[in-house]
Amino acid sequence: MVFSIQASDGSNAYTNLTAVADETPTLTSSTLLTLAKGPIADADFDGDVDRDDITAISLTIGGTATTSKSFISAVDASARTITLSSAATAATISYKTADTVFEIDQAAPTVTVTPASGATVTDQSPFLRLVFDEDEYPGDSYKTVTITKAVLTNPDASTTDIASSFVSADNIDFLYSATDLALGAYTLTISATDFAGNALTDSATTFTVAKRTASIALRPGWNLVSIPGTPADTAVGTAIANANIDIVTTYDPTTAGGWLTAVRGSDGTFSGTLTTVDGSKGYWVHTSTFDPLTVDVPGLTAGSASAPAQYKLVQGWNLIPVSTNDLTVTTRDADDYLTGLSWSRIIGYSNSNNAFTSILPDGADTVSVGQGYWVYLKTAGTLVP
């Protein structure tokens, strides 16, 4: 907010206003003029900054020159803008600026929280970020805030005071690095004050920490699938939790006979030569329903003592996965996915039409995350998904 104070030195000389004559303003748009100097003064001291405070204006509207102030529909003193009621192609303007400016801040700060309210995060050590918006008006120079309360309500209803754990380089953008959060629903309650003492009180954001899961669509019968990463528990009976899946088999050319199979018995448990499943292979899965295969896949986490995946493949046929650390990715270019490998053919399978498909190198074909594929290598190599 801008105040022009009418003060005289006794000789009717007013010294707190500065005249600007015949400025050619920036035509920000055909109806918006942006002045070079400011703030625009309340030259007539009537308490409002409007068209009457513009000393003179010359406009070209519709090819016709005019000096009428009637085309001024609004004046923003702090933003230094003049809005016109009609489009202009040229303008010249004279006005006065205020030498003494007071900033009045009457609004409480607002905050944007990450994770957003209602969000689900699949990292048990997430960053909690607070970005405060205290930029109340153009030219506002007091934008910082002080956090007075930051309380995290945990899934078990206990609370943790984390106000002192937030760090900031500018007292606007604050960050807290959480560690080992339990699974479940959380509420983050924030209070803060700005430089003028305006308070944001008990702004609440809810979010949920959940396991990182991959859901793989299945159809009744045989499906050629893969797990897009290493499961949290690789035991076949745990990773393959869908009770409608009765057979899981894979091909491992490094073992005698190549084939490994697990069959679910009448007691609901698997038995056979396949005891574990992971992200390194494709799997033939037999099921009786459309229920998906859902697997907990933790993925890479910051600071963890684990390297990205790499899978050794042999010369000849390999039953490979399509893996990713980004579960939002659904397909990969085949050549990109097999970068560094000398391959001659990929074979996939579609349960929906009971058909095999063939992919050759140097094409535009894609492979789907969560599906399994046969690939023939000319020489042994390493798949780096």
The phi and psi torsions of 152 (rounded to 5 degrees) equal -105, 115
Q: What is the pLDDT of residue 313?
A: 97
Pairing of β 199-209 and β 119-121? parallel
**Structure tokens belonging to residue 360:** 């050759």
**Sequential DSSP letters for 14-51:** --SEEEEEEE--EEEETTEEE-SS-PBP-TT-SS--SG
Q: Which domains does the chain have, with CATH numbers?
A: 17-98 (no CATH), 110-209 (2.60.40.1220), 212-385 (no CATH)
Tens of pLDDT, residue by residue, the chain (385 residues): 444 444 444 444 445 678 888 888 888 888 899 988 888 888 887 778 899 989 999 988 888 999 999 999 999 988 889 999 888 887 889 888 776 555 555 678 899 999 999 999 998 999 999 999 865 545 555 689 999 999 999 999 999 999 999 999 999 999 999 999 999 999 999 999 998 888 999 999 999 999 999 999 999 999 999 999 999 999 999 999 999 999 999 999 999 999 999 999 999 999 999 999 999 999 999 999 999 999 999 887 777 778 888 999 999 999 999 999 888 899 999 999 999 999 999 999 999 999 999 999 999 999 999 999 999 999 999 999 9
Burial of 53-82, coded b for 16+ CB within 10 Å and e otherwise, reads bbeebbbebeeeeeeeeebbeebbbbbbbb
Name the β-bridge partners of 207: 119, 186
C-alpha 21/C-alpha 33 separation (Å) is 15
SS3 call for 334: helix
Whether the upstream peptide bond of residue 115 has omega within 30° of 0, thus cis, is yes
**Structure tokens belonging to residue 354:** 């009971």
Q: What is the pLDDT of residue 2?
A: 46
Q: What is the pLDDT of residue 352?
A: 94
Spatial contact of 335 and 346, defined as CB atoms under 8 Å apart: no
C-alpha 254/C-alpha 318 separation (Å) is 10
Among 101, 79, 98, CA closest to 20: 98
Q: What is the pLDDT of residue 1?
A: 46
